[in-house]
A and B are shown apart, each in its own frame.
Chain A
Amino acid sequence: MSDVVEKTLTALPSLLSLDSQPGAGKLSSTSKLGQFIRNITELTSKHEEEKLIKKELAVIKDQVSSPYTTMRQMRELMVRSMYCEMLGYEASFAYIHAIKLAQQGTVLEKRAGYLAVSLFLNENHELLLLLVNTVLKDLQSTNIIEVCMALTVVSQIFPKDMIPAVLPLVEEKLSHPKEIIRRKAVLALYKFYLIAPNQVQHIHGKFRKALCDKDPGVMTSSLHIYLQMIQESPDSYKDLVGSFVTILRQVVGGKLPLDFNYHSIPAPWLQMQLLRILSLLGREDQSTSETMYDVLNESLRRAEMNHNITYAILYECVKAIYTIHPKAELLEKAAKCIGNFVLSPKINLKYLGLKALTYVVQHDASLALQHQMTIIECLDHSDLLIKRETLELLFRITNAQNVTVIVERILSFLRLCNDDYTIIDLVGKVAELAEKYAPDNEWFIQTMTVVFSLGGDLMPPDIPSSFLRLLAEGSQSEVDDRQLKVYAVNSYLSVLNDDCSHLPQRFLQVISWVLGEYSYLREGLDQEEVILLLKKLLDQRGVSAETRSWVLSALTKLCRGSGRAELALAVAESLSSTLDTVLRQQGHELRHLIQDGSLHARVLPQPAPANSLEVDSSLSFLDGFVSDALAAGAAPYKPPHQRQEELGQQRAPTLEPYALSLPMSLSSCTVTDRQSPSVLSMSSGLSANSTEPSQRAGVATLMLEGVKRVWGKEGYLPQRDTSETPATVEEPSDVVQSSHQQVVIDISQPEPEPEPPQLDKKQQLASSLFVGLGSQNSACLLGKTEATVPRFRRKPHLNDASSSGTSERSSDSSHSSHSTADSFLYGGLLEEEPATPIQSSRHAPQPIAASGSCEARQHGLTVNGVDENRGGAVVCAKEEKRAHPTQLIESDMVRVRPNALAEGAVVPPQNCSRHLPSTSSCGSDSEVLKLPFELQNLPHSDIISLISDSHLCISCCRVFREDALLIVLFLSNSTEMVLCDVALELSCEELQMGSLRGNVMESMAGRTSSVCHYTVFMERPHTHVPFTGTVSYQTQPGHKHTLHFSGKLTTADFIRPLVLSTEEYGKLWLSFSHDVKQNLRLLTDAGDPLIATLNVLKDCLQLHIVDIIGSEGIVACRLLDGAPCLMHCRVHGASLAVWLRSSLSSFPDCLLYHCQRALQEH
């Protein structure tokens, strides 16, 4: 008996407790959920399910609104509605009850309530407002679980405008004694950072503290934030490299407690995260990279265990090694690793190996050669994904020799593929390859035919339009062009002669355009035949109205001549009664043109004049018309940005053959992301820095100009300035030669041994696929950069200046294709450190201080490096602050308005900073430069030099007019020469510009300067607004120079004081709806802290202090003469609690951001 009792008793807990028990617990017939689910699983048809769930939802709805439902029952009801929602049935009536449950229930019910809320609601849902108070209450709770729940829900669904409400509490949780709370708080803050970076600006210091947390878990969470921030600006976090390296070394060395091991590997996820961060920091930065070589080597070595997760670490390691500044020894190891991946029998590893190869071939194509047989095998792999990745790899190594084989492979894959995404992606790639490397016209047209018919209407419109433009603009050789066009006509005629009912609309459009334009080129072709074919197309069912109109325009071009006119007339007649107005209109036009031969000849001259059209871009001939129209009350011209939306839809394929005088730079400089399937451009992401069309001077030799060669066999090649590249072309350096030889050896190695015949085939394929990767092209190991001359080189535009001007322009365009960041990097690598006072304050040497407060170190992880660095950073931040004012005083520039924000506001590009110390010509210029008399009395910033070259120096000054910001640009000629045709252009997407003056000058005498104004308005606040501009001028006729400059404006430039009385303030306060609350730092260094702080804000941001009463102050400002923003401040302990209100939603945020910065910089 006692045995039985004992057994029963041991079984008891698991029987009675409802939660720690397997599924059976709620299967009892009394459980409604159980019953419901059982019913659902018994159903067979979708229809029945729908019926049942509708019924169930009705029952739930009934019960939740009943006042007698207990919280416990409510919880069950929530689970049931969650289940319905998961199946895709809406249970919106339950949302409010979920919130109620989270509000009122005990922990158990609260948890269900929060869960339901996070599943039901999204950040835009209006009910979310009701949750704020509950969350606030729970964040303050002493119960850890409640705090955790609140943090989870906050990070899941809180929108931007609700963050300020909870931010102080979440921030507070960073120093909570429990690590799980700290960890969740860090992640919640990360989420806030993603949504609204401005609002968490002030807690960056606390992120550092989280990074040094004694609990490795908290540190791990903080890495999410750092990864994100480093991605955005790697340069700001270089000081942390040491810490990350130290952490990684300790993790790899097994210093973490055993809890963090996963299959006896220490914290693998943490390792991966750190490797990712390091690779971001080490990219293109030699000194930083050097600090991490050791630890990378160590992780490579340690990760040699045979477990899935070690491969994950290895993969990240390899990627890091190939991203940072290269080191031969590591590269070798990494290459071996990739080899192991690719050769692995495990399919996941093989896939990753291919991905790594794809990444690596950009740097070193010979690696692909080593694995060519494996790649061939993967081409026939049963897994589609592997196949696709292999094709991607092949795409990267395509060159003129293997293009036919590779394109054929891709096309045969495409024929079997039915996934839309893959089709779009690959079709774009084939089109790109075909245009770049086509061996002959015939092949090109055939390939494009296949592309058009396979790509169908999914195809992005760029592909056909780019193709047609290529046909129209042609290449250099007339004969070639003609041949290409004739071939196109021939092949499309044969396409139309076959059954063409299945062809995609886009293809039909291309066909009709080509036939209309070029069918006359083919000798012996009866144009009547063409018209008949087109007519057939017009009558075909399933042809869309758009295509019909294309066909009609083709007909219009062809209709001259006796027999043809009748045919066309018949078509026009048949359209006269159609319902489609566009077609009817076109039919009408067609009839008119047929009847009036001379008009037709004028409108559509037979050999379409490709480039000879003269376009008066200023449209001066319309001036009279415009003034007449305006006088008659017509609406004035709207600037492009206002019209953009309206135009957006019509833009699709604008293939007007006569609109070719688009500046060539527009069409050829589209440097786009290669990933995007929608863009077919001449230049892939890889060749982004490569030659532009007009750089064809050295076609016969290697096209190395402008190709950024970063990698060679030996590793990193020193970067050359673009100006030096011509030298490289003439005498290939040793680096190139030696890499050449090495690769030759490489290819001879791989497969010497005899293989069975089946393999021979593969060998053949291999040799055709990998041809060109070896000797001939090895001078350029960058995979498929411009080693060969693309067949279809677009013509430089005839309207452009003379040939010498073209070469000048090309260096500019290659310059412009670097992003500004890039050019900064260039500058940093090539030249001495930028040396303007502003820059140097940012690059101040950072002293390493002894670690300040010693954190307790637990879990055996010593975070020495981190702490040390943190101390260093703090000290250095202080130093910077101290250094700042002195530097400002030192600068001898005009200063009317204190310019605390200037350093972020205008970024001097590298050219001028190079210029400054040596000749100090700009400095002396700025003494000469004076604002025009009428502006001198307005508040303005100092004059900052923007950019300069050997002839011209551009400086900029911001003048703060009451209703606008004036950007005053000074152009000063620093030579004795006369500069002609000086034209200045300034653009900024987010702002409205008006009333410009003096931006074009016929000539500019030596040693003179000129001033031009731009009035800039800001309607919606943006924290930072970049602007860009160009100045072009000619030293002698034909020698055109262009200077690009850019800068940044901030909202602070647009803030003006708003003067009003306290009563007016009170009235206005109540009328605004958008508000933000936050705590600011209070300046305590001098006098009354409130007054001191407000004065600083007033000085920096031009705020108007309305009133100060005791510990409260009210401040007002507005955006130019537009929307006001009111600020209410109250001293709250050691901080200043501010409450901002405005009629514009984003204004308070922006202002707050600038207040924070102003105080920080003070």
Chain B
Amino acid sequence: MIKAILIFNNHGKPRLSKFYEHYNEDIEQQIIRETFHLVSKRDENVCNFLEGGLLIGGSDNKLIYRHYATLYFVFCVDSAESELGILDLIQVFVETLDKCFENVCELDLIFHVDKVHHILAEMVMGGMVLETNMNEIITQVDAQVKMERSEAGIAGAPARAVSAVKNMNLPEMPKNINIGDISIKVNLLLQRL
């Protein structure tokens, strides 16, 4: 069983924490700190596993982690899980994030914590691995996104407008679109880039 999934950056700032077993809040924070402490001092060329030790209660637990650019992805699992299996599960998770966010970066995780959680919920449920196929996960997440758009009135409006616009004949279109507004958005996007 997976006990906890933690993501933090190179400075130990938590970016996502999900516990599948209940711990006191203080202990959760302590676990995050200790895990970071353990993981961050390991070289790049050592193995991706750590014995849990005193950390999350009991010697049965293992930490399995991967380091991507600025982020550490750490899974804390019990002895029933396969080390290499979990290692690849992390890979699947990250690839899925990458697909969903198009070139995922730390910022995506910060600003879309909720979405990351939703993606995770499609992979792991109550500590058990639910789905390991990336396409399947994305399908589920997309289905939710679609549902949201069609249901959420205001939020869905622009999307609906776009699709309406797409279906129209070209010459008529400029009338319906507030070009000024778009240009602002484009600028914002450029600023970020």
A binds B: yes
Complex Cα distance, B17 from A183, in Å, reads: 25
Complex Cα distance, B29 from A23, in Å, reads: 26
- The residue in chain B whose Cβ has the minimal distance to the Cβ of A307 is B88
- Is A180 in contact with chain B by the CB < 8 A criterion? yes
With contacts A19-B148, A152-B121, A191-B126 known, is A309 near B182, CB below 8 A? no
Complex Cα distance, B116 from A79, in Å, reads: 12
- A136-158 interface (Cβ within 8 A of B): 143-145, 151-152, 155-156
Residue numbers in B under 8 Å from A350 (CB-CB): 47
Contact status B144-A17, CB under 8 Å:
no
Q: How far is the CB of B42 from chain A (nearest CB, A)?
A: 8
Contact status B54-A83, CB under 8 Å:
no
Complex Cα distance, B46 from A999, in Å, reads: 63
Contact status B162-A12, CB under 8 Å:
yes
- Is A937 in contact with chain B by the CB < 8 A criterion? no
Contact status A17-B47, CB under 8 Å:
no
- The residue in chain A whose Cβ has the minimal distance to the Cβ of B171 is A2
Contact status B105-A12, CB under 8 Å:
no
Contact status A17-B149, CB under 8 Å:
yes
Complex Cα distance, B20 from A191, in Å, reads: 11
Candidates A22, A187, A385, A422; contact of B103 at CB < 8 Å: A22
Residue numbers in B under 8 Å from A227 (CB-CB): 80
- B145-193 interface (Cβ within 8 A of A): 145, 147-149, 151-152, 154-155, 158-159, 161-163, 165-166, 170, 173-174, 177, 179, 182, 185-186, 188-189, 192
Q: How far is the CB of A859 from chain B (nearest CB, A)?
A: 13
Chain-B contact segment, one of A25-33, A198-206, A575-583, A745-753: A25-33
Complex Cα distance, B131 from A184, in Å, reads: 10
- Is B67 in contact with chain A by the CB < 8 A criterion? no
Candidates A108, A183, A276, A422; contact of B53 at CB < 8 Å: A422
Contact status B111-A269, CB under 8 Å:
no
Contact status B113-A312, CB under 8 Å:
no
Residue numbers in B under 8 Å from A108 (CB-CB): 148, 151-152, 155
Complex Cα distance, B192 from A27, in Å, reads: 9
Candidates A9, A17, A19, A85; contact of B166 at CB < 8 Å: A9
Complex Cα distance, B165 from A786, in Å, reads: 83
Contact status B111-A26, CB under 8 Å:
yes
- The residue in chain B whose Cβ has the minimal distance to the Cβ of A187 is B125
- A142-201 interface (Cβ within 8 A of B): 143-145, 151-152, 155-156, 180, 183-184, 187-188, 190-191
Contact status A184-B135, CB under 8 Å:
no
Q: How far is the CB of A598 from chain B (nearest CB, A)?
A: 52
Contact status A311-B84, CB under 8 Å:
yes
Q: How far is the CB of B85 from chain A (nearest CB, A)?
A: 5
Residue numbers in A under 8 Å from B110 (CB-CB): 23, 37
Q: How far is the CB of A685 from chain B (nearest CB, A)?
A: 13
Interface residues on B, range: 35 or more
Q: How far is the CB of B164 from chain A (nearest CB, A)?
A: 11
- A2-16 interface (Cβ within 8 A of B): 2, 5-6, 8-9, 11-13, 15-16
Contact status A82-B113, CB under 8 Å:
yes
Residue numbers in B under 8 Å from A88 (CB-CB): 25-26, 28-29
Q: How far is the CB of A47 from chain B (nearest CB, A)?
A: 16
Complex Cα distance, B55 from A978, in Å, reads: 60
Q: How far is the CB of A89 from chain B (nearest CB, A)?
A: 9
Contact status B16-A18, CB under 8 Å:
no
Candidates A83, A119, A155, A276; contact of B125 at CB < 8 Å: A155
Complex Cα distance, B107 from A27, in Å, reads: 10
Contact status A9-B173, CB under 8 Å:
yes
Candidates B84, B147, B155, B174; contact of A315 at CB < 8 Å: B84
With contacts A87-B14, A152-B121, A309-B85 known, is A145 near B147, CB below 8 A? yes
- The residue in chain B whose Cβ has the minimal distance to the Cβ of A263 is B88
A-side interface mostly: helix
Residue numbers in B under 8 Å from A26 (CB-CB): 111-112
Residue numbers in A under 8 Å from B115 (CB-CB): 19
Contact status A675-B59, CB under 8 Å:
yes
- The residue in chain B whose Cβ has the minimal distance to the Cβ of A271 is B85
With contacts A5-B174, A112-B114, A123-B22 known, is A23 near B128, CB below 8 A? no
Candidates A28, A37, A112, A315; contact of B188 at CB < 8 Å: A28
- A207-224 interface (Cβ within 8 A of B): 217, 221, 224
Complex Cα distance, B113 from A5, in Å, reads: 34
Residue numbers in B under 8 Å from A262 (CB-CB): 88, 92, 132-133
Contact status A348-B47, CB under 8 Å:
yes
Contact status B148-A24, CB under 8 Å:
no
- The residue in chain A whose Cβ has the minimal distance to the Cβ of B64 is A348
Contact status A184-B130, CB under 8 Å:
yes
- Is B69 in contact with chain A by the CB < 8 A criterion? no
Contact status B84-A348, CB under 8 Å:
yes
Residue numbers in B under 8 Å from A145 (CB-CB): 143-144, 147
Complex Cα distance, B190 from A15, in Å, reads: 12
Residue numbers in B under 8 Å from A260 (CB-CB): 133
Candidates A15, A20, A352, A422; contact of B83 at CB < 8 Å: A352
Q: How far is the CB of A467 from chain B (nearest CB, A)?
A: 23
Contact status A23-B22, CB under 8 Å:
no
Residue numbers in B under 8 Å from A348 (CB-CB): 47-49, 83-84, 87
Residue numbers in B under 8 Å from A420 (CB-CB): 53-54
Contact status A269-B126, CB under 8 Å:
no
Among B45, B125, B144, the most chain A Cβ lie within 10 Å of the Cβ of B125
Contact status B88-A37, CB under 8 Å:
no
Q: How far is the CB of A214 from chain B (nearest CB, A)?
A: 16
Among B84, B104, B105, the most chain A Cβ lie within 10 Å of the Cβ of B84
Residue numbers in B under 8 Å from A86 (CB-CB): 14, 16-17, 113
- Mask: chain A, 377-400; 1 = CB below 8 Å from B; 0 = not: 000001101101000000000000
- Is A595 in contact with chain B by the CB < 8 A criterion? no
Residue numbers in A under 8 Å from B159 (CB-CB): 13, 16-17
Contact status B85-A269, CB under 8 Å:
yes
Candidates A152, A308, A316; contact of B87 at CB < 8 Å: A308
Complex Cα distance, B119 from A115, in Å, reads: 11
- Is A1002 in contact with chain B by the CB < 8 A criterion? no
Contact status B154-A72, CB under 8 Å:
yes
Residue numbers in B under 8 Å from A383 (CB-CB): 43, 46-47
Residue numbers in B under 8 Å from A85 (CB-CB): 25
- Mask: chain A, 605-630; 1 = CB below 8 Å from B; 0 = not: 00000000000000000000000000
Contact status A155-B111, CB under 8 Å:
no
Candidates A6, A382, A388; contact of B46 at CB < 8 Å: A382
Contact status B121-A22, CB under 8 Å:
no
Candidates A5, A18, A23, A115; contact of B107 at CB < 8 Å: A23
Residue numbers in B under 8 Å from A48 (CB-CB): none
Complex Cα distance, B174 from A9, in Å, reads: 10
Contact status B47-A83, CB under 8 Å:
no
Contact status B125-A27, CB under 8 Å:
no
Contact status A18-B188, CB under 8 Å:
no
Among B16, B108, B126, B170, the most chain A Cβ lie within 10 Å of the Cβ of B126
Contact status A425-B118, CB under 8 Å:
no
- The residue in chain A whose Cβ has the minimal distance to the Cβ of B23 is A122
Candidates A13, A34, A72, A106; contact of B162 at CB < 8 Å: A13
Residue numbers in B under 8 Å from A13 (CB-CB): 159, 162-163
With contacts A348-B49, A385-B49, A385-B51 known, is A188 near B114, CB below 8 A? no
Contact status B14-A34, CB under 8 Å:
no
- Mask: chain A, 443-479; 1 = CB below 8 Å from B; 0 = not: 0000000000000000000000000000000000000
Complex Cα distance, B165 from A143, in Å, reads: 29
Q: How far is the CB of B119 from chain A (nearest CB, A)?
A: 11
Complex Cα distance, B26 from A1013, in Å, reads: 53
Which 9 residue pairs of A and B lie closest in terms of their CB atoms, listed nearest first? A421-B53, A312-B84, A155-B126, A23-B107, A383-B46, A16-B158, A122-B22, A88-B29, A347-B47
Q: List 11 A-B contacts (CB under 8 A).
A: A15-B186, A16-B159, A22-B101, A115-B118, A115-B121, A152-B121, A187-B125, A269-B132, A312-B88, A352-B83, A421-B55
Given contacts A79-B113, A190-B126, A315-B82, 8 further A-B contacts (CB under 8 A): A16-B159, A72-B154, A85-B25, A145-B147, A262-B88, A350-B47, A383-B43, A422-B53
